[in-house]
Structure 1
């Protein structure tokens, strides 16, 4: 689900008291891969070098898994710089966050869209307790016209 397909982005900028309100990630409208914590054993570069990592991140553009900035290799960051792929998400099971390397923003899941989609030509419904136009009938508990002598 991406904004590029006409849907709301699945990520939003996390609140941060150190940033002005309204700061947003400029890359949320790009086609992003769905979350997948598949069969990767770890950071391929660290495995090849025989080094360790602290946490893994998965590129949401191409799916490459690399180690985080707290790891000695910082391979996810290097991938983002060399490939211009801006967003990576945590690869750890149970974690649900992402990082935009270009905008330097922490991202969290966007709240679900509220309400149902409005279809073209649909008539808005009267709110509870309101009468609509054109004789939509009495409010609940009111007698209908012609009842009780009216």
Structure 2
């Protein structure tokens, strides 16, 4: 990624344009998470501090949420077109962190113009596949974690 690209704000929107998320810069990298939910969504996450993104909805637009497992994250999608737009932490740190002490959210970069993200590194993250939930009772049947 070119150094000048890091200061470029990006705009992500669902297919119908009802939900728009604006982030202040390109993500450090794009994560194609392989956990039980993300691989089904086909999402490619860019991570940001929760307080640095702006989420806007058009009048009468509805954002639906899916919360499961440890109930640490809500996956938010457009009720009209069905696009997964972002995940949002439901609990403050240290529960919702990927890096020490950071309260992060995930922006689905598949809703961003791909030309803007052309030179951002992508990684396929498999580590979340084996991270156990706090309770096996809430795990997905395909959960590969050891309990």
Task: Please indicate, yes or no, whether the TM-score normalized by the shorter chain is above 0.5.
Answer: no
Task: Give the number of the structure whose alpha-carbon radius of gyration is greater.
Answer: 1
Give TM-score scaled by structure 1 length.
0.30
Give TM-score scaled by structure 2 length.
0.30
More strand by share: 2
